[in-house]
Chains A and B, each alone.
Chain A
Amino acid sequence: MKVVLKVFRFNPENEDKPKYEKYELDLREDAVLLDALNEIKWKIDGTLSYRRSCRHGICGSCAVKLNGKNVLACKTPLKKAIEDFGEELVVEPLSNKKEKIIKDLVIDKKDFWDKNHKVKPFLIAEIDEHPKTENLIKPEEVEALEEADYCIACGCCYYACESLRENKEFLGPQALAKTYRFSADKRDNAKKERLSLVDSLGIGVWDCVKCQACIEVCPKGVDPFTKITHLHNQIFEEGIAKKNVATKHAEGFVHSIKKHGILDEGMLVLYSEGVNVIRHLPEAFSMFAKGKIKFPWNMPKSDQLEEIQKLVEISQTHELKD
């Protein structure tokens, strides 16, 4: 199989800017992207740098960007890649920010690891060093972790996260999914401490932009976004949630649905913001002038509202406490 790869090359030690090098390769039909990189390094240009180790999708070291998608090189069949992206395959590092590049496809993942450490990605429990019986955990208790335990910390989701692009403080999908891995574990004693950390505005769950990029890229099916949703739920269940614009916003939907069936957009902003609502006034005036605002007297309601109200009443499982 003929494959043409355009590979990002940059050595910050002696080059000013990155360039793309083109390689024409002849590979087996079942070759994966890592085979192609190895072929280049071993037979064409030994100076190409990239991380690799297990070649079985376990170590997480060979993550790179292929035509805009973060992938594990060892788990990406080239035939499928050509089907998805056409003949021109472009390989880049997970982040192409100049300051992050160590060399070619190898980046400095310090920020990623710092955040992983910040959520204490280990079991916090009193452990008897000389137990008399096994410390058993039931199958259904393990099921509660869902796929969160499959994370191999490859960074695919972290470097695809849209929130992180403009909010460097955000913990990111990997560290948050890891938090859930332990906050959902019956044996862990630090659930409240973990939830308090990820409830913090600016770094925690409330700053996820819900772009779904983490689900799309995760090569292990961890589904970090859904774990972030579960963390939100745990924050309310455990009474950790503080009344603020973010928690009031999430809770405000229930109020609005009960009252109108559909969302009262204006009231939701007012309910979430409290007195801070004045910061939205300039926008509100321009929207009003263009017929984009409904007032209480012309706010539409869903037909058969009483059905919706009853359904909310019988299926609501959480309340916002202070």
Chain B
Amino acid sequence: MKYALYTGCTARESTPELLKSTLTVAKELGIEIEVLNEASCCGAGHLQDFDEFLSLTINARNISLAEKRGLKLVTLCNTCQLMLENTKRKLDSNEDLKEKVNEKLSEIGYKYTGSSKIQHFLYAILEDVGLEEISKHVKRPLNLKIAPFYGCHIIRPSKTHDGDNLNENPYKPNAIENLIKILMGESIEYDSKTRCCGFHVDLQNTPLSEKLTADILIDADNNGAEAIVTPCPLCHLNLDVKQRSAAKEANKNINIPVLHLPQLLGLAFGYSKEELGLNHHIVDVNL
């Protein structure tokens, strides 16, 4: 089994622990990874505000990198996943647009065909490895109360994900809960698990972003979570790096560790804090 890995920018910069733990866990699960080092930024949900067409051409190129290799394109970030899928859905459903984009791509020797599936690492391992096989790698049962936090772009809009997220119900997702269960942890139920962390307005409306983040942290904390786990590095930045300022905005004391999804798997597989990059977190992880 081999994936073309679209790391996204965050995993190469402010969340190096995400890339590290992903590579560790993929190796454990017997997945070969080819990192797409020629990929560009997906535009992170902001480039298309400035220039919709440019966002399509650069993401069509990103997708075609996996197509050229004949591999599934696997992402590590909710927003990268949505940006790439948005491009795929638009081009696959509009021949004229696809032609216009391919006209530009041909000038740099590329062609978008639509042949590669695009899937977030969470759903890729569920589809290709499966819960039963993953459970065989558990060496250190979690025995923790975990708050699953999905973030927005991996579950909404369901029509765009169109099966790539295994038809997750955006109001009642269960992929992370299923994983927590086989890793022998306990997932807590709380209202905020499908809410928004506010990351995308963090610069232009910081109080709004901090309030939304604080709402999630407080809700998880009130429901007895010992840690939060998220499949999205942007949510991670808000929940971990901004935890102190969010707590201050909400006038509360909060201190709750936040894990990336592969780190949670890695912990249960028996890997050390260093192998999973837990030393990079702002809120100490002592689980």
Contacts and interface: CB of A to CB of B under 8 A. Distances in A.
Interface of A: 67-69, 84-85, 162-163, 165-167, 201-202, 205-213, 215-216, 225, 229-230, 232-233, 236, 244-246, 249-251, 253-254, 256-257, 261-263, 265, 269, 272-273, 283, 286-287, 290-294, 300, 302-304, 307-308, 310-312, 314-318, 320
12 contacts: A162-B196, A163-B196, A206-B201, A210-B196, A213-B156, A233-B52, A250-B46, A262-B9, A263-B9, A292-B14, A302-B39, A320-B50
B49 interface: yes
Given A166-B211, A201-B205, A254 B156 contact: no
A285 to B, nearest CB: 11
A229 B13 CA distance: 27
B166 interface: no
Given A215-B156, A215-B157, A294-B13, A236 B50 contact: yes
B30 to A, nearest CB: 27
Nearest to B205: A207
Given A290-B279, A292-B280, A254 B54 contact: yes
B152 A212 contact: yes
Q: Say what secondary structure dominates the interface of chain A.
A: helix
A212 B41 contact: no
A245 B40 CA distance: 23
B205 A167 contact: yes
Given A269-B203, A315-B53, A290 B282 contact: yes
B205 A317 contact: no
A318 B55 CA distance: 12
B260 to A, nearest CB: 13
Nearest to A170: B208
Q: Say what secondary structure dominates the interface of chain B.
A: loop
A302 B37 contact: yes
Contact of A287 (B14, B53, B82, B198): B14
B172 to A, nearest CB: 6
Interface stretch (B67-75, B101-109, B182-190): B101-109
B178 interface: no
Contacts of A245: 203-204
B241 interface: yes
A67 B198 CA distance: 23
B115 interface: no
A229 B201 contact: no
Given A290-B279, A311-B57, A261 B40 contact: yes
Nearest to B51: A318
Interface string B192-203: 000110101101
B40 A233 contact: no
B130 interface: no
Contacts of B279: 290-291
| Best-buried of A162, A287, A312 by chain B (most CB within 10 Å) | A162
Contacts of B211: 166
Interface residues of B, number: 64
A248 to B, nearest CB: 9
Contact of A210 (B15, B104, B195, B200): B200
B242 interface: yes
A312 B13 contact: no
Contacts of B82: 212
Contacts of A269: 203
B10 A286 contact: no
Contacts of B15: 292
Contacts of A317: 51, 53-54
Contacts of B152: 162, 210-213
Contacts of A286: 241, 282
A303 B280 contact: no
A251 B211 CA distance: 26
Contacts of A308: 40, 58, 61
A208 B200 CA distance: 8
B48 A207 contact: no
B140 interface: no
Given A253-B47, A308-B61, A201 B204 contact: yes
A311 B104 CA distance: 7
B157 A257 contact: no
B212 interface: yes
Interface in B177-231: 195-196, 198, 200-201, 203-205, 208-209, 211-212, 215
Given A263-B9, A317-B54, A292 B16 contact: yes
Nearest to A253: B47
B17 to A, nearest CB: 9
B270 interface: no
B45 interface: yes
Nearest to B249: A166
A286 B244 CA distance: 11
Contacts of B51: 233, 236, 254, 316-318
